[in-house]
Structure 1
Amino acid sequence: MLPLREVVARIIRLRQQGRGQLTLLAVCPNSSAVLEAAVMVAANNSTPMLFAATLNQVDRDGGYTGWTPAHFVRELQTHAASYACRTPLYPCLDHGGPWLKDRHTTERLSLAETMAEVKASLTACLEAGYALLHIDPTVDRELPPGQAIAIETVLERTVELIAHCEAERQRLGLDPVSYEVGTEEVHGGFANLDSFRGFVHGLRRRLDEEGLGEAWPCLIVGKVGTDLGNPVFDPVVARRLYEIVAPLGSLIKGHYTDWVENPAAYPESGMGGANVGPEFTTEEYLALEELSAREADM
């Protein structure tokens, strides 16, 4: 299976050569039904697909799906075999960072405690064979309410977590893994282009200084207009972000692509990836509600 960073490099070349415009779909595997349906669609359409699992969904404690990272990967492989899927299916971590697992907040873990938990989960993801790790230290529960986290802090913690992953990957004798980094819209992402540019170039410098240049992320999360309350994607902003990261070998990944009104604008503007999760959960809920109503009428 071609590593994701090589897939991204090919997408960039195709776009530059005027030979194609592609955006990778990342499905959030929030249930067995969603996971199986996504694999079936990938098989039927001969398309690669990403499966972006949060630590709330899949983790060492089973998450709310009941899957550990290893179990999740086995489930993915089982469905791939069942549907004779021959296209690449990439298990991925979504939002790997301090306090982004709800339990870390409810249990009031300190920074040291939540970072230790996240690092252990990152190791479990590597052991399970994840292809992409989203490093996301954009939340700080120790700050006063309303105070945004500083870019320098995000950079420092991003490099710390990537360094942990690279050390563990080498210890385990694993092939290189791909990374995703960047801002998280709900928790105060870097909304303007100057801040985004500062984050990207600051990360490049920090990784090089730590000898981690080869771990440069192939996907960078950008604020492109969408969130759970706004289904309108902004292709103008997306194009500007693309122009910042493409020369560095990366593409922009959009979160909250659920119910988006203009999906065709994603590949047209150079978006590399798009996450969809709550929309699938809603559809599954509505289907179950309908079946329950039918059963009640029988």
Structure 2
Amino acid sequence: MSDLLTPIIQAMRAGNGPALPSVCSAHPDVIAAGLRQAAAHDMPALIEATSNQVNQFGGYTGMTPSDFIGFVKGIAKAHGLGHVPVILGGDHLGPQAWRDRPADEAMTLAAEMIRAYVAAGFTKIHLDCSEGCAGEPAQLGDDLAAARAAQLAAVAEGAATDPQALTYIIGTEVPPPGGARHDGEGITPTPPENAAATLEAHRRAFEAEGAGAAWSRVRGLVVQPGLEFAPASLFAFDRAQPDRLSPVLGDNPRLCFEAHSTDYQDAPVYADLARRNFGILKVGPALTFAWREALYALSHIRHWLDGSPHISGQMEALMTEDPRHWQGHYHGDDTRLLRHFGYADRIRYYWPKAQDAVEDLCQAIDRADLPTPLMQQYLPQATLDRAAGIDLPRSRAILQSHVEEALADYYPEARC
């Protein structure tokens, strides 16, 4: 198994290539769109799962790491994209999922999870031990977080049949779980001295753990570049700000920054981040947001054809019957609107329960004779043009093409 990530980072650091988007989603249409965009740009597809989403107990998707890899491979095969090289990443792998337990117990479970990820074939491993466990502060200091990350790196090395295929990401500068801040909060880029301290703490910890080989394959440091999104607002990246972080990387051509929550930014931002040595750009909610946009558009179109009620009514019922996925994220008088249209896209957790309704809508669209002006009323022409080139039933082609439109901005060299 070869390391597909390092050459991309080296090319980006040398100014000869773009950053690599990381598709953080378990939605099959989003994964298919990510694979197709990677193929169009002759790049590997980077697809990641989080520790809450996929773990040895199934996570909230019900999938173990080996299940998730089989899931991705099945999607690739079904769409004729089995030839696309895929990097499978594990995001925020640490004790977070069990942080209500004592640290020793949580770390034991985290080690089991790491073994499961590596044994399944995940090769990009984000070691994140920044959150405290029972009786500890909510956020740990660099030294303890790094020591725990080094312990898990040693576990990963021991579990791998080919450790040389593994690459590691360290550090964390992310919003609260769910991928969004609260409206009104400010965004402060990571100070260079903090980034340097995190990097040095991990170097010392890996050395103390006897994990020097793993340290040589650390490829990314997670930092906050100064962008994010909240439920109803965006924090746009200031392209005029000076690049204060790049000196932290020194002259290591195989090390880059990783940016989380890059969703919804203007297209030029992604090329600018690459110039600032952000080699990995994570995106997730913006892609399922785009999928929901297209699905709601199809439901409007169907209503004009046969009078069927809009699918948003069924989704509203699902979300109000089981509010756990949005209740702690949306507040105030606009919760109903945010449930459907918030940038945090908490509605994505409810699509598995709505599969029958989605399939019924898709079949109705596929059977119908759709007037072009009606389609153009609800869907961008770019989405319709892209969908025409996808060999799928019309409904799925439209859903995936709209996701591709959102993802295409991450490939600034040649938009396909």
Which category describes the TM-score, using the shorter chain as reference length? 0.7 to 0.9
CA distance in 2 between counterparts of 1:173 and 1:56 reads: 26
Q: Corresponding residue for 1:210?
A: 209
1:11 matched to 2:3? The reply is no
Q: Corresponding residue for 1:256?
A: 261
CA distance in 1 between counterparts of 2:132 and 2:242 reads: 27
> Which of 20, 43, 50 is residue 47 of structure 1 equivalent to?
43
Q: Which amino acid aligns with 1:136?
A: D
After superposition, where does 1:16-35 map in structure 2 within 5 Å?
20-35=16-31
> Which of 91, 107, 114 is residue 106 of structure 2 equivalent to?
114
CA distance in 1 between counterparts of 2:294 and 2:171 reads: 34
Given that residues 35 and 81 in structure 2 are in contact (C-alpha distance below 8 angstroms), is that contact kept between their aligned partners in structure 1? no
Shift of 1:178: 0.8
**RMSD (Å) for aligned C-alpha atoms:** 2.8
Q: Which amino acid aligns with 2:264?
A: W
Change (3 A) 1:173 1:144: closer
Q: Corresponding residue for 2:226?
A: 225
Range with bigger deviation, 131-140 or 286-295: 286-295
> Which of 152, 163, 166 is residue 157 of structure 2 equivalent to?
166
CA distance in 2 between counterparts of 1:132 and 1:176 reads: 9
Q: Secondary structure at the match of 2:286?
A: helix
Given that residues 263 and 284 in structure 2 are in contact (C-alpha distance below 8 angstroms), is that contact kept between their aligned partners in structure 1? yes
For residues 90-122 of structure 1, what are the alpha-carbon distances to aligned partners after superposition, in whole Å with 9 as ceiling and x for unaligned?
0100111222x3xx35xx322222222221111
Given that residues 106 and 133 in structure 2 are in contact (C-alpha distance below 8 angstroms), is that contact kept between their aligned partners in structure 1? no
For residues 146-190 of structure 1, what are the alpha-carbon distances to aligned partners after superposition, in whole Å with 9 as ceiling and x for unaligned?
x64211111111111112211222xx5655411111123226999
CA distance in 2 between counterparts of 1:286 and 1:271 reads: 29
> Which of 147, 150, 153 is residue 156 of structure 1 equivalent to?
147
Q: Secondary structure at the match of 2:244?
A: helix
For residues 50-69 of structure 1, what are the alpha-carbon distances to aligned partners after superposition, in whole Å with 9 as ceiling and x for unaligned?
11110222222333333221
Normalised by the size of structure 1, how large is the TM-score? Answer: 0.84
Q: Which amino acid aligns with 2:40?
A: N
Q: Secondary structure at the match of 1:215?
A: helix
1:276 matched to 2:283? The reply is yes
CA distance in 1 between counterparts of 2:33 and 2:105 reads: 37
Shift of 1:37: 1.6
Change (3 A) 1:292 1:67: farther
Change (3 A) 1:290 1:143: farther
After superposition, where does 1:18-167 map in structure 2 within 5 Å?
20-81=16-77, 82-84=79-81, 86-99=83-96, 101=97, 104=98, 108-142=100-134, 148-167=139-158
Q: Secondary structure at the match of 2:270?
A: coil
Q: Corresponding residue for 1:180?
A: 169
Q: Which amino acid aligns with 1:203?
A: H
Range with bigger deviation, 129-138 or 147-156: 147-156
Shift of 1:89: 1.2
Change (3 A) 1:71 1:144: closer
What is the percent sequence identity of the aligned residues? Answer: 26
Given that residues 143 and 202 in structure 2 are in contact (C-alpha distance below 8 angstroms), is that contact kept between their aligned partners in structure 1? no
Aligned pair count reads: 286
Change (3 A) 1:71 1:54: same
CA distance in 2 between counterparts of 1:255 and 1:65 reads: 21
Q: Corresponding residue for 1:199?
A: 198
Structure of larger gyration radius: 2
Normalised by the size of structure 2, how large is the TM-score? Answer: 0.62
Q: Corresponding residue for 2:296?
A: 289
Change (3 A) 1:189 1:54: farther
Q: Secondary structure at the match of 1:252?
A: strand
CA distance in 2 between counterparts of 1:238 and 1:29 reads: 32
Change (3 A) 1:295 1:12: closer
Which runs of 5 or more residues in structure 1 are unaligned?
none
Given that residues 183 and 189 in structure 1 are in contact (C-alpha distance below 8 angstroms), is that contact kept between their aligned partners in structure 2? no
